[in-house]
């Protein structure tokens, strides 16, 4: 139960850093070449600290705000590895507009020196059933 709460706090920190465009978000990822940030668009794939930094800067340079509203947040863990699944909406806000789209997040985190760090953040915007 304690691990679940810590993982959800890591997700909340991530969301707050996105909302404030805080580049300290990079320290939330494991400093490893196989850490990945994958967004929902084709070009939004980054591996390792340098690529993740470039992708985060690209997100933060956009003239919109990004937020999420989750309906579900499921967490599991074994030892120092945890994974989560969240489903809800991504909310993209501009000066006079707001767009809400279905959104899914899968993530893998690893506890490193007592702190949970992202190894994988994978977001997707599911398309309607065919």
pLDDT of the chain along its 130 residues, tens only?
789 999 999 999 999 999 999 999 999 999 999 999 999 999 999 999 999 999 999 999 999 999 999 999 999 999 999 999 999 999 999 988 999 999 999 999 999 999 999 999 999 999 888 8
Centroid of chain to Cα 83: 12
Rounded to two decimals, what is the model's pTM?
A: 0.92
Q: 2-124: which CATH topology?
A: Nuclear Transport Factor 2; Chain: A, (3.10.450)
Residue 15: strand, helix, or coil: helix
Hey, how many other C-beta atoms are within 10 angstroms of the C-beta on 46?
21
* 8 burial via Cβ count (<10 Å: 0-12, 13-18, 19+): middle
pLDDT value at position 71?
98
The domain ranges of the chain are: 2-124
């Amino acid at each position: 139960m304690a691990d679940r709460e810590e993982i959800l706090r890591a997700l909340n920190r991530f969301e707050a850093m996105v909302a404030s465009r805080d580049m300290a978000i990079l320290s939330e990822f494991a400093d490893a070449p196989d850490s990945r940030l994958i967004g929902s668009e084709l070009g939004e794939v980054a591996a390792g600290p340098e690529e993740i930094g470039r992708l985060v800067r690209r997100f933060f340079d956009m003239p919109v705000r990004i937020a999420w509203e989750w309906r579900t947040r499921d967490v599991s863990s074994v030892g120092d590895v945890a994974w989560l699944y969240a489903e809800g909406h991504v909310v993209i806000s501009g000066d006079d507009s707001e767009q809400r789209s279905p959104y899914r997040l899968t993530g893998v985190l690893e506890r490193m020196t007592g702190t949970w760090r992202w190894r994988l953040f994978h977001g997707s915007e599911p398309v309607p059933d065919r």
